[in-house]
Amino acid sequence: MAQDRLTKDQRREQARELARMEREARQKAQSRNRILIRVGATVGAVALLGAVAGGIWLGTRPAGPGPVNMASDGILFVGNDDGEVDAVQTGAVPAEGTPIATDPDAYDVPARIVTYLDYGCPYCNQFETTNASQIADLVAAGYATLEVHPISILDGQFAGSEYPTRAANAMACIAAEEPSGFLDASAALFANQPAEGTEGLTDDGIRDILDSVGALNDEISACIGEQRYAGWVAAATERATSDPDLANPSTGGFGTPTVLINGVRYTGALDDPQAFAAFVAQNADFSESDPTPTP
């Protein structure tokens, strides 16, 4: 059964309340951490400084709570009655907690599209540049839902800057604070994707791109600087890369982009929108939906 739709004002109020609860939980956690840091400062100062200098801190920080609106490790988009795309408001993955998978029967649509993307991945860029617009159209028309999972498997390709983690963190910040801007921000990051082998974009460079599409505010800017969700990015990436159901049968491992339509992996050309549209139509499920024209 399809979930009841909320009005825009109700969705905004729900999003504000979820964001408020998440900020309060984060502030309490930060307060506890400050106490622990003061207790252990004398013993651990040298080791901590060495870790930071060596670029280790970001990669080893414990998994904190994830962003609100990403309880499944992904952010879900659905069409509304006005023919627009809405982000679905959810809770967050708790610190050291387990994501809650999206119920495949929650929305009465023929196609459930799920993507796993690394913002440093050239192949993800190729797929997104080719298909993001038509996917958004399918969602807006009520033909599909879209669930986007930002992950980071290519940090080692960016000269020690860990750009993919920082970009995925920035997208998590947007999911939590301004989810309606997520898809535009995602498209903008891919449109400005740095080349592998470089240091990638700086945090200020990421901010400038997000600002150019109206997806930056003070809280998101602070979130980027704090790398607030970097621990969650690492945990979500580990969950994705270790999930046997997401492994590519042709390689035996996980790769990006991973694109699923009703659980079926897309293996066609990444730069052929007609091939992808045909695959969506081929794997659409009309068992509980009125037939919709093929994309």
Supply the CATH number for residue 190's domain.
3.40.30.10
Integer angstrom CA distances of residue 212 from 85, 111, 207, 218, 263: 20, 31, 9, 14, 34
Please choose, from the candidates 154, 265, 128, 177, the residue with its C-alpha nearest in 3D space to the C-alpha of residue 280: 265
pLDDT (0 to 100) of residue 7? 54
pLDDT (0 to 100) of residue 21? 52
| Residue 157 is assigned to a structural domain of this protein | yes
| Residue 293 is assigned to a structural domain of this protein | no
| Residue 289 is assigned to a structural domain of this protein | no
Distance of CA 64 to the CA centre of its chain: 16
| Residue 216 is assigned to a structural domain of this protein | yes
| Residue 1 is assigned to a structural domain of this protein | no
pLDDT (0 to 100) of residue 45? 35
How many structural domains are present in the chain?
1
Domain around 224: 8-283
Taking the C-alpha atoms of residue 176 and residue 19, their distance in angstroms, rounded to an integer, is 7
pLDDT (0 to 100) of residue 20? 55
| Residue 197 is assigned to a structural domain of this protein | yes
| Residue 143 is assigned to a structural domain of this protein | yes
pLDDT (0 to 100) of residue 286? 82
| Residue 288 is assigned to a structural domain of this protein | no
Task: Encode the chain (295 residues) as per-residue pLDDT tens digits.
Answer: 334 444 555 545 554 555 555 455 555 545 444 443 343 433 333 333 333 333 444 444 566 799 999 999 999 999 999 999 999 999 999 998 999 999 999 999 999 999 999 999 999 999 999 999 999 999 999 999 999 999 999 999 999 999 999 999 999 999 999 999 999 999 999 999 999 999 999 999 999 999 999 999 999 999 999 999 999 999 999 999 999 999 999 999 999 999 999 999 999 999 999 999 999 999 999 875 444 444 4
Taking the C-alpha atoms of residue 215 and residue 56, their distance in angstroms, rounded to an integer, is 30
Taking the C-alpha atoms of residue 190 and residue 188, their distance in angstroms, rounded to an integer, is 5
